[in-house]
Amino acid sequence: MAQKFDQFKTTINEISDIYNAIALLSWDQQVNMPHGGSENRGYVLSTLERIGHQKITSPEFGQLIEDAAQEVSQLDPESDEACLVKVARRDYCKRIKVPARWVVENAQVTTNAQTVWEEAKSKSDFGLFRPALEKVVALKREYASFFSPYERIYDPLLDDFEPGMKTSEVQAIFNVVRPEQVALIKAIAGRPEIDDTFLHVPYDEKAEWDFGEDVITFFGYDWDRGRQDKSVHPFTQSFGTGDVRITTRFDPERAVSLLFSTMHESGHAMYDQGFDKSLQRTPLSTGASMAVHESQSRMWENLVGRSMPFWKFFYPRLQARFPGQLGKVDLDTFYRGINKVEPSLIRVEADEATYNLHIMLRLEMEIGLLEGALEVKDLPEVWNVHMQDYLGIAPSNDSLGVLQDVHWSWGMIGYFPTYALGNLVSVQLWEAMLKDIPDIYEQFERGEFLSLLKWMGEKIHRHGAKFEPQELIQKATGSKIDPQPYLRYLKNKYGEIYHL
Ligand code: ZN
């Protein structure tokens, strides 16, 4: 009876296999491949990408989706089958609106922009990057036009990362968060500086690495379905729930950052390991959105990994591994050190209290560029003014300012807000979890973390991408994305650490 649906499912499984092969080749490129392999790897990847793209945009596939939709129309709309058809149809309709010549031009422009960005960043010369970025912005404006009518030109770009989310919703949330976070940082700046010198002495890489692996084993990262390797930028890559790999990096200047990066990536990975098996080899076997994904990584990194109950259990173990560095540092001093707040220029090094402000600054600029209120040539100046307003500091050169992130050269405009939304969602889920598991902190102090993973698995992970992010968060917490839990968390935590 469900003959068309089966045919549709077979096709979508094949497409998923192609994209998993691409993912594996990209993982290998970043982890194992010798330098000389890049030319050939480029050919292999672009051939596979082309085959995948042909399949997912073909009229035959479009017809299959429509036929399958008819067959599942009587099913529960929350069934796997109905959700799969719904998501496949949404993605298909978006893809076929974008003409092939735009895809080709975008690939050329962004490949060039990345090369130019690298040079501009190393020379700290925004002027070099400006023409390339102007082309990227023009292409993004054109991309948005394929989806008109829209409420705001930024909506179609945001939708690629946060399905269903509107620019006005994000701005309304950020408008609540921004003044509170700016005020918090000002209050902290008036307090004595925290001593964290013990974090900036040499640590042994292997010992750090082993400790990080121990920690995420306690969290519940499944090594039978994963592994950890080294890469330039830490990332998580999944090839199906049975194989979800993470990477990390060691920075001698900031040795413990390896530990937090391992915890962060394990959060992404445990999400990917937790999708229901029935969703395998389909576009539902992925996170609900970038923000929901980031909520999981930030939760393990910050709400767990920078919390006192976690360190009550793990700190004696860390001290035992690093007696020279930490033997004389007591738990309270260590805890305050890893939670030190210090406005800084670089987003990826920002602490919990300042991080979102880095994002809000980028969002306002991206919207300005898209809506025409801001020109690319004015970015460095506007950047510096915003940094001063939000964080009270300004970069001395563009490399430490407007040129620091690679995203715009990749053409990734619309992505940044998901980082800050992820922070908000992490605490919103946390508050909901606390109602169900009121003794979670006592569990952490005993080294027990599995009930947290189980709760997230039940409420978030197993659903994969069946629901749009706002719908999923509503189901798990009773409301859509709400900034209040996050603001409460920041004020409590830093009020205590800084005696505000
Ligand atoms: Zn992340």
Q: Each residue of 209-240: pLDDT tens digit?
A: 999 999 999 999 999 999 999 998 899 999 99
Q: What is the pLDDT of residues 137-177, one digit of tens each?
A: 999 999 999 999 999 999 999 999 999 999 999 999 999 99
pLDDT of residue 493: 97
Nearest to 220 by CA among 175, 160, 269, 186: 269
Quote the ligand 1 centre to 288 CA distance (angstroms).
14
pLDDT of residue 489: 98
**Tokens 């379905």 identify what position?**
225
Taking residues 175-184, report their average pLDDT.
Answer: 96
Quote the ligand 1 centre to 417 CA distance (angstroms).
13
pLDDT classification of 253: cutoffs 50, 70, 90: confident
Quote the ligand 1 centre to 296 CA distance (angstroms).
8
Taking residues 185-203, report their average pLDDT.
Answer: 95
Taking residues 441-466, report their average pLDDT.
Answer: 98
pLDDT of residue 85: 98
Quote the ligand 1 centre to 294 CA distance (angstroms).
5
Positive or negative CA dihedral for 487, 309, 358, 193?
positive
Please, what is the Cα angle at 288 between 24 and 82, to 5 degrees? 100
Inform me whether the pLDDT recorded for 1 exceeds 80. no
Quote the ligand 1 centre to 301 CA distance (angstroms).
10
pLDDT of residue 318: 97
Quote the ligand 1 centre to 10 CA distance (angstroms).
32
- Rounded CA-CA distance 66/87 in Å is 12
Of 99-113, 256-270, 375-389, which gets the smallest average pLDDT? 99-113
Of 103-112, 375-384, 407-416, 437-446, which gets the smallest average pLDDT? 103-112
pLDDT classification of 251: cutoffs 50, 70, 90: confident
Quote the ligand 1 centre to 351 CA distance (angstroms).
14
Inform me whether the pLDDT recorded for 252 exceeds 90. no
Taking residues 303-316, report their average pLDDT.
Answer: 98
List the domains of the chain with CATH numbers. Answer: 3-149 (no CATH), 167-497 (1.10.1370.30)
Helix (H) or strand (E) holding 297: helix 290-298
pLDDT classification of 406: cutoffs 50, 70, 90: very high
Q: Which residues are catalytic?
A: 265
**Average pLDDT value for the chain:** 96
Residues with CB under 5 A from ligand 1 (ion): 297
**pTM: predicted TM-score of the whole model, two decimal places:** 0.96
pLDDT classification of 42: cutoffs 50, 70, 90: confident
Quote the ligand 1 centre to 92 CA distance (angstroms).
27
Using an 8 Å Cβ cutoff, are 197 and 256 in contact? no
What three-state secondary structure class fits 394? Answer: coil
Quote the ligand 1 centre to 73 CA distance (angstroms).
36
